[in-house]
Amino acid sequence: MSYIKAENVLPQELIETIQQYVDGKLIYIPCKEKQEWGTTTSAKVFFRERNEEIYENYIGGIGIHELAHRFSLSEKSIQRILRNQRLALSKGAPSV
């Protein structure tokens, strides 16, 4: 996230009002509409494909310990991914 100077985008009277509450501090102003996670990057696709690959490898006989090593994840993370993949498949929904 990049920062912009308030003086460049806000009227002086608004800046003075904000300074009454948070003088000299950084504040976050959220977007009007919340975007779903992963919509602005390819992260969602990457993790979906990775998780599908982990599940397919597990079904193919590779153990949790080996999967954790291959994908540089903890065994607990592999277990969570497998559980979520199973749930998604049972519901017929795509998983992430």
49: CATH: 1.10.10
pLDDT digits (tens, 9 = 90+) for 40-69: 788 889 999 999 999 999 999 999 999 999
Classify residue 25: in a domain, yes or no. no
Q: Which residue has the tokens 């009454």?
A: 20
Classify residue 83: in a domain, yes or no. yes
Q: Distance between the two ends of the chain, CA-based, in angstroms?
A: 24
Classify residue 1: in a domain, yes or no. no
Classify residue 9: in a domain, yes or no. no
Task: Report the pLDDT value the prediction gives residue 1, as an integer from 0 to 100.
Answer: 64
Query: What is the model's pTM?
Result: 0.60
Task: Report the pLDDT value the prediction gives residue 96, as an integer from 0 to 100.
Answer: 58
**DSSP string across 51-66:** HHHHHHHHHTT--HHH
Domain count, the chain: 1
Domain of 55? 43-91
Classify residue 24: in a domain, yes or no. no
